[in-house]
Amino acid sequence: MNTIIFILMLCAALTTPDKMIVIFGRPQGDSTSKISLDFMSCVDYCQKLDSCMAVYSASEADDCHVFDVGQLSEVTETDKSDGQKVAFKMNTTMCYESSEDNSMITDGPPNQICNITNTNGIWKFTPCPSCPSNFTMFTRPKGKWCIGVVPTIPFVTNPEAESLCQTNYGGVLSGLENVDEYNHIIDVVIPMLGSPLWSAWTTVGFWINGQRKEACKTQKSSLCNTTAGFDFTDPLLSANPTGYIWGVGQPSGGGTFNSSCLHFSFNTSTRMTQSVDDYTCTVNTSSTGNAGFAGYICGVVPS
C-alpha cells in the first residue's frame, strides 16, 4: 500500500505526458552521475532533462544518482522501511492505482524507452530500437527500417556497395518503399553535390536495391520496364513499392545483360535528382567517363 500511495501522490502533481513514477526500490545499472540534491528535487531535475530516464536515492541521503536513457535496465521493489527510492519516466497521461497497473508499452523514438514491464515487483526497461549513426528510421507496412546514404571514396561497383553495406552495417542495399523514402534520399544527397570531389563528374549515382530478373535480361517488355522486372533482397520491402520513381526513359536496359542494377542518380551541375536508373553492375564509372557511382543507400533493421 505504501508503494501505491507514493505513486499516486507524485502522478497527481504532474500534468505533462511524461510522468515520474516513484517506487521504493533499488536499481540495477550504473548511473551517469551523482548530484547533491534531496530526492524530490532530484526527481524534478530529471523530469526537466530529456536525457534523464531515472533517479535513485539510498535512504535519506542528500545525494541522488542520475541514470541517462539506456543506463537503467531493471528496478527491484523494496519495502518502505528500506528507504531506497527510484523515480523513472513513463510517457503516459494516466496514473493508476497500483505499481502493476503502471506497466506500459510505448512506441517511442530512438534513444527512448519503449517497453516498461513489472512482473512480481521487478520493473524492466527495454530501449526502443535505434538506427546506426546518420541513418534515419522509417515505418513500413512490414516493420521499421533504417536507411543511410553512404558516400564512398573511391567510387564503387554494385557488388562492392553490397559488400560494404553488409560488412560495415550488417545490412543490404535499401529499396525505396515509398515517396517519403525517395524524397529523404534527395534531401540528404543534394547538399553533398557541391563537393569538390565530384566536380569533374556530370552525374553521380548511389546504388540501391534491385537486380534485373533473368527473363528480363533476354527480352524487352512493358513488364520488364517496371519494378516487376527486378528482384529485390530488401527484407522489409513491399511487393509493390511506390518509391522507385524512374528517370526519363528509364529503366532502359531490358533485354541486355549490361544494365541489371539500380542506382539513384543526381546531376552535379543542376544539383537535382535524375531519379532511378538502371546500369551495369560491375563498373564504378560510366563508359562515357562523365558519371560515377559515388556511394550506396544502405538499409538495416533497427536494433
Residue 150 DSSP one-character state: E
Name the residue among 116, 139, 98, 133 with its Cα closest to residue 54.
116
**Residue 101: per-residue pLDDT:** 40
> Which domains are assigned to the chain?
18-127 (3.50.4.10), 136-300 (3.10.100.10)
As given in the structure block, the three cell numbers for residue 87 are 523515480
Residue carrying the nine cell digits 494516466: 94
Q: pLDDT-based confidence at 6, cuts 50/70/90?
A: very low
pLDDT in tens, 65-79: 999 888 889 999 998
As given in the structure block, the three cell numbers for residue 43 are 526527481
Average pLDDT over residues 252-256: 75
Give the alpha-carbon dihedral of 248, 249, 252, 254, to 10 degrees: 130
Average pLDDT over residues 198-211: 96
Least confident of 70-74, 97-101, 258-262: 97-101
As given in the structure block, the three cell numbers for residue 8 are 499516486
Phi, psi of 238 (to 5 degrees): -70, 165
Give the alpha-carbon dihedral of 60, 64, 70, 74, to 10 degrees: -10
Average pLDDT over residues 49-70: 85
Q: Is the pTM higher than 0.85?
A: no
**Residue 90: per-residue pLDDT:** 80
Helix (H) or strand (E) holding 210: strand 203-212
Half-sphere exposure of 173 (CA within 13 A, CB side): 22
DSSP 220-264: --TTTTSGGGEE---TT--SS-S---BPTT-S--TT-TT--EEEE
